[in-house]
Amino acid sequence: MKKIDCKQLKLEELEELKRQIDDKNIGLRIIQVEGDSASDVYVRNKMKAGRDIGLDIKHILLDQTFETEQIINIINVLNDDDSINGIMVQLPLPKHLDEQKIINAIKPEKDVDGLTYENLGRIISKEEGLRPCTAEGVIDILDKSIGLNNLEGKQITIIGRSKLVGLPLYHMLLEYNATPVICHTKTKNLENYTQNADIIVTAAGANKPFINKEMIKEGSIIIDVSTVKGEDGKLHGDVVYDDVVDKAAFVTPVPGGVGQLTVLELMKNTYKAYNLQKQRNHKKEKTYTKRAN
């Protein structure tokens, strides 16, 4: 099994993406409502990556006085602009806003975060669409480390059932004939599921790291999605890294792990959205031409 340097993987794939984009005019807009300091960091990272690969990328920063319908109005303008290929809303949003209503206002073909109901439904029905970036990042790590064909029959424990990671990832893993199970805050005896798992993907966002070597199988793969700022101001995940690193075959670090690929997948989704829109418009033109004849 190949151990993956997530930062290096991101840089290599962004460079390849830059070559593919070349001089194409691809537009991405990131909408953020101010007030979350962690979001400021994430947006800066996305803006840098977008500029580095040649996207027409702009940051729309809104103050906390904006209401749900006002943000939807902004999204509708972007939906109708053919020069904009991707739209994302940085989460989390302030509590007074209807997060899912805002997300669902984005046209599915421009939903580069993959979080509209239509795109999430496409995962379950195994149809082509835009998929959640963090879940795609996990798939990318598994692909580069053990190969997706080798997921067949693997027991995979997912900790966390969010729409960003756990739920879409569950269905994505089924496509490769893996045997995933989702655990959550109401799961009893969590170690029963982690000790027998070939792969653990944890996105619990725990206040303190809790997955130790007693909870894992020898030679397992552990992908730690969580990024939490501790009382000491340092970032940590759900895994006690130093405790499990010698027992596991591979553990993603925090920071410097899955978060690196979340940015990458957003860029890849934006390019994918551009190509899907181009194909759709080409089909419309052909249909129109046939009717005109």
**How many other CB atoms are found less than 10 A from the CB of residue 16?**
12
Q: Would 285 be classed as within a structural domain?
A: no
Residue 61 lies in a domain: yes
Q: Give CA–CA dist 206/58, Å, rounded.
A: 33
Taking every pair of Cα atoms in the chain, the longest distance, rounded to a whole number of angstroms, is 71
Active site residues: 46, 90, 113
**89 & 146 share domain:** no
Same domain, 156 and 103: no
Residue 44 lies in a domain: yes
Asked whether residue 204 is assigned to any structural domain, the reply reads yes
CATH number at residue 65: 3.40.50.10860
pLDDT value at residue 38? 83
235-236 and 228-229 beta bridge pairing: antiparallel
Residue type, 244: V
Domain stop point among 66, 92, 107: 107
- Both tokens of residue 121? 């439904």
**Residue 119 located in a structural domain:** no
Measured in residues, the chain has a length of 293
146 and 236: one domain? Answer: yes
Output the pLDDT for position 282: 67
Return the ∠ at Cα 176 (arms to 250 and 147), rounded to 5°: 40
With respect to residue 15, please indicate whether it lies within any of the assigned structural domains: no
- What element of type H or E holds 202? strand 199-202
Does 72 share its domain with 180?
Answer: no
Q: How many domains does the chain have?
A: 2
What pLDDT, on a 0 to 100 scale, did the predictor assign at position 264? 96
User: Is residue 183 classed as helix, strand or coil in its secondary structure?
Assistant: strand
Task: Identify whether residues 210 and 249 lie together within a single domain.
Answer: yes
State the pLDDT at residue 251: 96
Nearest Cα to Cα of residue 256 among 130, 93, 141 = 141
132 preceded by cis ω (within 30°)?
no
CATH of the domain at 240: 3.40.50.720
Residue 277 domain-assigned?
A: no
Cα→Cα distances 284→248, 273, 291, Å = 51, 16, 11
Same domain, 250 and 172: yes
Cα dist from 212 to 4, 200, 226, 241, 245, whole Å: 21, 12, 15, 8, 9
Same domain, 175 and 238: yes
pLDDT of residue 233: 84
Query: Mean pLDDT of residues grouped by 10 in the chain (293 residues)?
Result: 86 96 96 92 95 98 97 98 97 96 98 97 94 96 95 98 96 97 96 97 96 97 93 91 96 94 96 93 59 53
Q: Tell me, yes or no, whether 238 and 138 share the same domain.
A: yes
265 domain residue, yes or no: no
The domain in which residue 249 lies consists of 133-258
Same domain, 70 and 175: no
Q: Is 136 exposed, middle or buried (0-12, 13-18, 19+ CB in 10 A)?
A: buried
Identify the pLDDT of residue 98: 98
pLDDT at 285: 57
Please give the backbone phi and psi of residue 226, each rounded to the nearest 5 degrees, phi first.
Answer: -70, 145
- Give the pLDDT of residue 291: 54
